[in-house]
Structure 1
Amino acid sequence: MSVEVRLGSVLETPPKNGYSPKDVPEWTGLKALGLGCLTPRGFAPSQLKNVPDSVMARRFTLADGDLLMSRANTRELVGLAGRFTQIGAACIYPDLMMRLRPRAEQCLPGYLEIVLRSATVRRAVQAGARGTSESMVKISASLVEDLRIPLPPLSEQRDIVAAHEAFERRVGALERMLAKVEIAESALSAYALRQVGAAGPRLDSVATVAAGVTLGSEPVGEGTVELPYLRVANVLDGRIDTTDVKTVRIVKKQYERYALRKGDLLLTEGGDLDKLGRGAVWDGHIDECLHQNHVFRVRCGEQMLPDFLALYTASPEGRAYFQRVGKQTTNLASINSTQVKQMPVPVPPVEEQRRLLGPVHAARERAAVLQQQIAKLRTIQQGVIEDLLSGRSRVNRT
């Protein structure tokens, strides 16, 4: 039977903030975690740093199974938690994290990690975070200690951890399959482009390029209409993300000028130099959708398939062109519509384009199926674990 307790009551000591000595270029026998080691999926040792070895630093050495929680970050990411696993070297954690060590006789580290990553606790942490800007909020040790968590007997905690790990193994297997399919897709894309040789005519000879609606003083009154539009944040590398689409008001007569059609290739105007010209083909699943002026709309004519053009603009050769012509400033890089229009592109016969795209599309379809399976399994996992934590269901031990 599960009871609800104060988190601080199951910890050996109060949550302890970390230590952030200055980075050094060479390994001294001690590593430090970066804040990016805590992800929505838990602990991932991806941002390790070399730091000076000292008596002070060693006070913050992590043990296998220690729970870590980010105490400062954006509101979305603050309070992310993960269970530290050994990395093959002594390791400390930074000041922007806090360490939690549960009492072994009361709470399993693996169980506490699941609880801290649950939707209920995440909401409580985010609601309690404080800061003057959403880009940086903080949580206190007292907030963490005062969190209310379910605490079933150790045997039930083990069952919940086992159920969680079973889901993780299945998801992990699917993710490994997806990684292989994505590698295959990349190889097939490169092969397809090698078959057509060097780029030839300018892009504007086979497609039209247009900028979108400029935001700012919007028209009002009769003769205007408010419509959804895609901005740079919606146009990712190889896909369009429509989870957060904003609207803008325009004069009705300008609709065709800014409207998107299914098959339009969207390319971003600016960002980091290596992300210039990232884009994807619009599938048209939002009716009457526009695009912002920082997103170029490329509409292919009869000589070019949008997917084939997208294949080329995303290739190393296409990216190299954008990086070569892009204008670099202190923090950002950008391209203009003239540079997009002047881009040399390969234009094999349409039937040849379609033939070369066949294996690529097959790989993408397989990847899409795997992504859907992973997303579905994650949803089921979240529901099952939340039910187990709340006591609404029990693990079947038979």
Structure 2
Amino acid sequence: MSDPDIGDVAATGESLESLPDGWAKATIGDLLIWIEAGKSFKCAPRPAMPDEWGVIKVSAMTWGEFRPEENKAVLDDVMLSPEHEIYPGDVLLSRANTVDYVGAPVLVDSTRARLLLSDKSLRLILGSGVHRKWITYWLQAPAVRRSIAAKATGTSDSMRNISQSDLKNIVIPIPPVDEQRRIAETLDAQMVCLREIEKRLRTAQDRLAQLKDSLMIAASTGVLNPGMEGRSASIPPSPAVQDGVLPLLAEGWRWARLEEIADVIGGVTKDSKRQDDPGYKEVPYLRVANAQRGYLDLTNVARIRVLPETLKKLRLQKGDILMTEGGDRDKLGRGWIWEEQVRDCIHQNHLFRARVHAAATHPTLLAWFINSAARGWFETNAKQSVNLASISISKVKQLPVPLPPPGAADEAVDCGTQALDRVNVLEIAVRDGLARVANLRRTLLIQAYEGQLVPQDPADEPAEHLLKRVRVEREATVAERKAARRASRAKNTMSSKDLATSRKAPPPSIPPSTAEQITLPLEFTA
């Protein structure tokens, strides 16, 4: 067991040595009776039906509120144990998650029946008197979040783990019980307002995204150009793909297959065995994570060693369009235009590169179309495996794309750029608003953690009294559980002689009034 770790106060750097009157310094474990962990189950890749058992996913505990719909249907009901069922009032915590969300707590307000803890979730059994909403807020405080992140183990940011012992050893300030209630009530009132503001901003963000899609479709099909109206246009069908309903085109525009106007190739597959070969050259290369919808994220560009001829073949040029080959079904085909931001850069095999033929169309028009109207086409023509979807390069070459008449491409790009720039201004304003909401929420939690959110009341019972009661309760519960286990083992243990005797003749019946009955603690009954 590691040494207790004092969580630092986020805003001011004050230590826990200076506490408000009536507060105490203790570990998270000092507030608990014990911690319950879930189990791993064989599950279907879908939510459970009302009459089925389900097990929660980590996403049920990620966003600050409990989401019972985030679950998977349990297939193996042999391992089911009612003691792992989730109930209203439970304080749950994500044992394994991304670096930002490992240890994320939620208070279960309501839930569906037959929903179980997973092996990546923990249930905190609190001592009597510990305020449930207060401890849920406390575990979200920046200082506690940093302590959890520091103790979380794992080699990848995509999955970190926090052990029960490390969690219990984190030291936090404990206010009196009555102040816990006042803190929780004050935070509740403020958080309700912030959630409503955030909800409206998210709605605005979604509507702006829809408007952006509509503008990209209109610009890439010529309909956004002044005086242009859309008309129906067809393309000879391809037996390899399903085109579905295509958007309307402006007068003079037509449909073509991607392979008619661009060279489309896949990328490099990493050869781990040849990365030390002196004949290979180290170069930057783009991965799926770099290709986002409508932009390229170049904050983290990996490097790979390849043959000189591979670099010559795959070196990206200005105007190349990158598209994802695999991943979530709704993210296939996302990507953007390469602007030669990095020298001698290539791309991995999970990205496609389309290099537009000279004068065929403007790369921006093609990129707008791929990231808007073509999204449904990619989903329709994708192949789904258990967890990932993908699309073949032969199908991508059959993507129907709009072609402008001579001289119309630049006007379409100008019209689209002007309209999208106005939307971008609004999107920035919404993002700023969401950032302010997040900062206000953080500030409230910091003030509560430092004892500055509500006034202290000298009449409050000091927190030390609560900690003593919880300690007595925990010791009694541990003793009861040990006694119950001993009784269970004694009941199930039988000597070979007794076993042989029991096989020869049944034992005499014992009148109910004289029979000895072992009363187990509540948590051992089902």
TM-score, normalised with respect to structure 1: 0.74
Alignment of 1:105-254 (within 5 A): 105-106=129-130, 108-129=131-152, 138-152=161-175, 153-154=179-180, 155-156=182-183, 158-160=185-187, 162-189=189-216, 193=221, 194-196=247-249, 200-209=255-264, 211-212=266-267, 215-216=270-271, 217=274, 228-248=284-304
Q: Is the 8 A contact 1:259 1:290 kept in 2?
A: yes
Q: Is 2:398 the partner of 1:375?
A: no
Structure with the larger RCO, 1 or 2 (CA within 8 Å, 6+ apart): 2
Establish whether residue 363 from structure 1 lines up as the match of residue 423 from structure 2: yes
- In the aligned structure 2, how far is the partner of 1:357 from the partner of 1:280? 15
Confirm whether residue 309 of structure 1 aligns to residue 366 of structure 2: yes
Aligned partner letter, 1:200 = W
CA drift of 1:15 comes to: 1.6
Shift of 1:374: 1.8
- State the superposition RMSD in angstroms: 4.5
TM superposition shift of 1:37: 0.7
Alignment counterpart, residue 290 of structure 1, candidates 345, 348, 351? 345
Q: Is the 8 A contact 2:378 2:391 kept in 1?
A: no
Alpha carbons 2:384, 2:390 under 8 Å: kept? yes
Quick check: 2:37–2:123 contact (8 Å CA) kept in 1?
yes
CA offset at residue 68 of structure 1?
0.6
Distance, in Å, in 1 between the alignment partners of 2:41 and 2:256 is 55
Q: Provide the secondary structure at the position in 1 that maps to 2:109.
A: coil
Give 1:10 deviation, angstroms: 2.3
Structure 1 residue 346: Cα displacement: 0.8
Name stretches of at least 5 consecutive residues in structure 2 with no aligned partner: 1-19, 222-246, 456-526
1:66 aligns with 2:121: no
Q: Which residue of 2 aligns with 1:38?
A: 61
Aligned residues: 386
Q: For residues 214 and 199 of structure 1, do their structure 2 counterparts lie closer, same or farther at Cα, with a shift above 3 Å needed? A: farther
Which deviates the most, 212-221 or 349-358? 212-221
Retained in 2: the 8 A contact 1:116–1:122? yes
SS at match of 1:267: strand
Residue 197 of structure 2 aligns to a residue whose secondary structure is: helix
Q: Output the amino acid matched with 1:71.
A: R
Cα distance, 1:237–1:6 mapped onto 2, change above 3 Å: same
Q: Distance in 2 between matches of 1:260 and 1:50?
A: 47
**Match of 1:309, as an amino acid?**
L
Deviations for 1:149-199, whole angstroms, at most 9, x for unmatched residues?
Answer: 232342345445555554444333311221222233344445565331796
Going from structure 1 to structure 2, the CA distance change for 1:243 and 1:15 (only over 3 Å counts) comes to farther
Q: What is the CA-CA distance between 1:233 and the residue it aligns to?
A: 1.9
Equivalent-residue separation in structure 2 for 1:161 and 1:321 (angstroms): 44
Q: Name the residue aligned to 2:315.
A: 258
Aligned equivalents of 1:133, 1:237: Cα separation in 2: 24
TM-score, reference length from structure 2 = 0.59
Tell which structure's C-alpha radius of gyration is larger.
2
Amino acid at match of 2:366: L
Quote the Cα distance in structure 2 between the aligned partners of 1:33 and 1:389: 30
SS in 1 for 2:403: coil
Distance 2:135 2:378 in 1: 50
Cα 1:166–1:109, aligned 2, differ >3 Å: closer, same or farther?
Answer: farther
Amino acid at match of 1:343: L
**Bigger CA drift: 20-29 or 293-302?**
20-29
SS in 2 for 1:14: strand
Q: Does 1:100 align with 2:129?
A: no
Alignment partner for residue 17 of structure 1, among 25, 33, 37? 37
CA distance in 1, matches of 2:338, 2:140: 35
CA distance in 2, matches of 1:327, 1:95: 30
2:53–2:116 Cα contact (<8 Å) kept = no
